[in-house]
Each structure stands twice: as structure tokens, then as C-alpha cells.
A and B are shown apart, each in its own frame.
Chain A
Amino acid sequence: MRVFGDAWGVSTETLIGAAELRAFLHGLPGVDQVGAEERAARLASRSIKTSAKAEAIDLAISMVDLTTLEGADTAGKVRALCAKAVHPDPSDPSVPKVAAVCVYPDMVETAVAALAGSGVGVASVATAFPSGRAPLEAKLADTRAAVAAGASEIDMVIDRGAFLSGDVVKVFEETVAVKQACGDAHLKVILETGELATLDNVRRASWLAMRAGADFIKTSTGKISPAATLPVTLVMLEAVRDYRAATGRQVGVKPAGGIRTTKDAIKYLVLVNETAGPDWLSPAWFRLGASSVLNDLLMQRRKLSTGVYSGPDYFTLD
């Protein structure tokens, strides 16, 4: 497979670059949908028990991007979430901290202040999240504001309208521009796979985002149903694996939305291990975008440590 370097290797200014990109994306092999679903379902049936389960739970907790993306978010709620991110279970100091807290750009400052020195990252959604329907200038301003406020990770959304109508060049150029606006911050590109209709499109969007310089590709905003599913994540994991094989650059994956139970989280970990490989089994390369799953992980963890079933009364609400 011939791949044109990364973002800066492709000349998007010329028609040749645009034609090449289009030809490349449409030349990607099609995804066998039935096969992908079958494979994901097969891997999901693996039984992970006892010490392996304990390890998987701790790994999953350390991969969580604890998220609050509500119109009703307040500084107080963000601070409470940050406290939970650092000490998910205050009664048990052996619980690892989560990977990052994910908030809207105007809440970044609050989160950065609350998490200073804790080692927990601050991710901010940007570029007119969740729809992505805004002029490029507004998207870039959104991104710069979040970075200036101290966000270490930016979660951008692609323009699904442009992608679906075939204007992949526009999506590419926007992503490149946002990547530049990010500076040192890591860029996660949200494909919103629930709106992409086919797994072929998921594969194309994944490659498009990676070639445009994404550090992470993320399934969904969490505002659209279906959000993350196992087959979609499988296709994205194959894409990052193939991309690394072709270019040597490793890109992370983040399923987001719809992951509610420990069982779900462990299914994703199995999928990562069996598809992309153990290199991706770290918070640096795989994240779980969720908030409710954390309490279930904590409940299961306490079940393993105390031997009795726990209940939601013993953990914080958000």
C-alpha cells in the first residue's frame, strides 16, 4: 500500500494532491461488514476472570476520559469531576487515576486549575462540537482558546456533511488547520461514526484523519446514537495498525459513548489486544470516552477486593 507521508508530506494546495487523496481513500479495500461484526462478536465472548479481570479493570480505569459535556455544566460540577478523576474511589488509594477529564472549552481553565500537578490530562472538545457546523475561522478560534486555557488534548469533530458529499479535501484541510492550531496539544479527531453510515466510510475517515495528522481517532461525540460499537472500533483499530505498518507513526483510538459496564470496557480491551496488538494497551494509545462506566468499574473492583457485591450508593453520582 502506497502512503504519502503524513500531513505535511501531502500537497493539499494542488489539484494533484486532492486527486491523489480521493483516489487513495477510494482505493482502500472495502470492509466485510458481516465479517467485522462476526469477529467483534466472537472476541466479545471471551471470558476474562479473577486476576486477569482485576488487571483489566485497573487498566480500563487508567484509560477513562472522564467526560462531562452538558449544556448545564457548571464550574462546580467540573471541579467535582476533577476530584473524582484523581481519586476515583477516595476510600481506596490503590485505585489508579483516570487518563484525562474531557470538558467544553470554557471549562478548561477550571479543570486545569483543579488538576494542576495531578498528572491527569485536560481534554477539550472544540471546533463547534458536536455538530461541527461553523466557519473554519470559528473552529480555529475555538481550538486556540482551549489550547491557550491549558488543554493538553483537543477533541475535534470532522465536517460529516462535507465527508458524506465527497468533499474529502475540505475535511482534510480543516483537520490540518486544526492540528496546526493545536500546537503541542494532542489532537483527537472525532469521526462520528454513527453518521457515516458504512464501515467503508469509517475506514476512509480513519485514514483521512490520520494522514491529516491526528494523534488519536475517536468514534463519536456521544450525542448521536449509535455511538461507539465494537465493529466500528475494530475497523478503526485495523486502520491504526495498518497505518503504523505503512508509515511507522502510531495513532491512538478512543471509542466514546455507549460504554456503560465493566463487561463492555473489557470487551474493548480484548478487541485492542487482538486487533492492534498489546502496543496499544496503554492510556497513551487507547482511551475510553465515558463517565458512567467508571462507577461500574469501581463497583466491580470492590467486589473483587471485598468478595461481596457492592452498590451504587457507595460511589459518587458523577
Chain B
Amino acid sequence: MSDRLAVRKTYKLYIAGAFPRSESGRSYPVTDGKGRFVANAAHASRKDARDAVTAARKAFPGWAGRTGYNRAQILYRIAEMLEGRRDQFTAEVRHTGASKAQAAAEVDAAIDRWVWYAGWADKITAVAGAANPVAGPYFNFSTPEPTGVVAVIAPDSPLLGLVSVVAPAIVTGNTTVVVASEPAPLTAITLAEVLATSDLPAGVVNILTGHRTELTPWLASHMDVNAIDLTGVPDGDVPALEDKAAENLKRVFRASDDWAGDPGTARMTAFLEVKTVWHPVGV
């Protein structure tokens, strides 16, 4: 037997750049693929969700105001930090039931996904925007702008799925409140440690762990949330949430992807709004 006592990590929430426990003081046990206990995760309450939205709102002007180039650097930095922790993430993904090879492949794919989205930061405006021909002496531009605070209900794919829904939301300048997978939340909190050390401003990504059915309705109805990604929500719960989201005309997006495939631009453009500007010619 080893002389050293085990030093176990307390998995907490990630809100406004800090790692608080749930305001409610609750936690729930997380088990591995074979039903064995792995760790306790924080069981967030609606007040944690409200605090996370406040943090995301506060972070929005600063993050949206960064240049695309700067956001690209920060997203690439996240990939760099993740690369340095490959072994840790591989071990954590294995807790969810993946084999060693599967877990390593998923971590590599997740790192590559950050790099892929980082490249889009300064290109999406050119691809999704336009200089429009108009009948008059005007320049007419359509430029995509970030929507605001996006609530993201992450799918159960513990790392690749999570990265694939968070990265496209933040790369364009949105800030997010992410509800991590309910059965596999631990990698999300470990990812938060990566985000916290990657020059990502506090509040751009806030991660909650807990029961989806408890948190999602509050985010869907929250009047200060501008869009919601329902990817991790089971089919039966979607209509009720869409109903709540309609109250303040939230953008609602839902697509269950094959996470290993080509991500495409749909997830980025879903959380953009187009601003069209008329500028007189010759003035």
C-alpha cells in the first residue's frame, strides 16, 4: 500500500472565470461505463444558471469587441493547452467507457476541432457577409455580428461533442452558458481548467453540471439569453423548450451531428445576426 494519501479533485462549476461550488451545495455521483463510482459532480441550481447568464452578459461586449484575429489566437491557444494535457483527457474520456484507442482518437479530434474553428475567426465575416449590389449611389454591406449570450445544452459525447458545440458559438464573439452532459460532466470541468489558462476572458464560457431537465427550462425562458442550442436535449423535451424560447424570440438551433465528421459552418452562422449598412458613395 502506498504511503501517500490520494489527492482527489473536487469537480466544481465554472462561472465568470472562477470555479465555485453550486450555490445549492448539492452534488451528484458520476459513474463510469460499468456503473462504478468515479467522482461527485456539482449539481447546479437555477440560481447558478442565473449567475452564469449574468457573467456571460458582462463578458459579451469585451469578447465581441475583440478582433477576429485575436479570437483566433485565443482559440488556438486553447488547442495548445489541450495538447499539453492529452494524457489527462485520454484518461478522463476512458472513464466514460471508451477504449484507450478510442479515447486517444477523441482527444486528438477535439484538439483539431479547436484549431479548425480558430481558423474561422477572421474568415467567417467574409464568408457569411456580403457587399450587396443596390440601385442607388450607395455601398451596401451585410456584416454578420454575434447574437449575444448563447445557452448551449451539450450532447453526451464527453469531449469532442462538447468542443464541437462550444467552439462555434464563441469563435464569432458570442458568450456562452453551457450545460454539460449529465452522465459525463467531468471532462467539461477539466476542459474549463484549460479554458481558464488560455487567455479566454472570464465569463465567455461558463459551464454548469447537473440535471438538464432542471436547468434547461430556466435558460430557455431567461429573457437575457439571446439564443439556445438544444443539441443535447432529448426529442420529447424540445417543443416545450422552444415554446419558452419564443417569449423573447431566441434563436433556437438543434442538430445532432456525427461529431467525427466535417463540422461545416452551420453552427457558426446559427448564432450570427446580419447587420446591413448603407453608406453613400462619394461622401
Which chain B residues border A13 with CB–CB below 8 Å?
A: none
Q: How many A-B residue pairs have CB under 8 A?
A: 26
Is B53 an interface residue, CB under 8 A from the partner? yes
Main secondary structure of the interface of A (DSSP, over half): loop
Is B57 an interface residue, CB under 8 A from the partner? yes
B53–A309 touching, CB < 8 Å: yes
Which chain B residues border A310 with CB–CB below 8 Å?
A: 223-224
Is B247 an interface residue, CB under 8 A from the partner? yes
Distance A307 CA – B53 CA, assembled complex (angstroms): 16
Is A72 an interface residue, CB under 8 A from the partner? no
Smallest beta-carbon distance A297→chain B, Å: 16
Can you name the residue of chain B whose Cβ is closest to the Cβ of A310? B223
Q: Interface 1/0s, chain A 276-318, versus B by CB < 8 A?
A: 0000000000000000000000000000000111111110000
Which chain A residues border B247 with CB–CB below 8 Å?
A: 308
Smallest beta-carbon distance B232→chain A, Å: 21
Is B31 an interface residue, CB under 8 A from the partner? no
Is B212 an interface residue, CB under 8 A from the partner? no
How many positions in chain B have a CB within 8 Å of any CB in the partner chain? 11
Main secondary structure of the interface of B (DSSP, over half): helix
Which chain A residues border B244 with CB–CB below 8 Å?
A: 308
How many positions in chain A have a CB within 8 Å of any CB in the partner chain? 8
Which chain B residues border A313 with CB–CB below 8 Å?
A: 223-224
Can you name the residue of chain B whose Cβ is closest to the Cβ of A302? B223
Q: Which one of B53, B221, B224 has the greatest number of beta carbons of chain A within 10 Å?
A: B224
Distance A14 CA – B101 CA, assembled complex (angstroms): 94
Distance A310 CA – B224 CA, assembled complex (angstroms): 6
Smallest beta-carbon distance B60→chain A, Å: 12
What are the 10 tightest A-B residue pairs by CB atom distance, in nearest-first order? A311-B224, A308-B221, A309-B222, A311-B223, A310-B223, A309-B50, A309-B223, A308-B223, A314-B223, A308-B222
Q: What are 17 A-B pairs at a CB distance below 8 A?
A: A307-B221, A308-B218, A308-B221, A308-B222, A308-B223, A308-B244, A309-B222, A309-B223, A310-B223, A310-B224, A311-B222, A311-B223, A311-B224, A311-B225, A312-B224, A313-B224, A314-B223
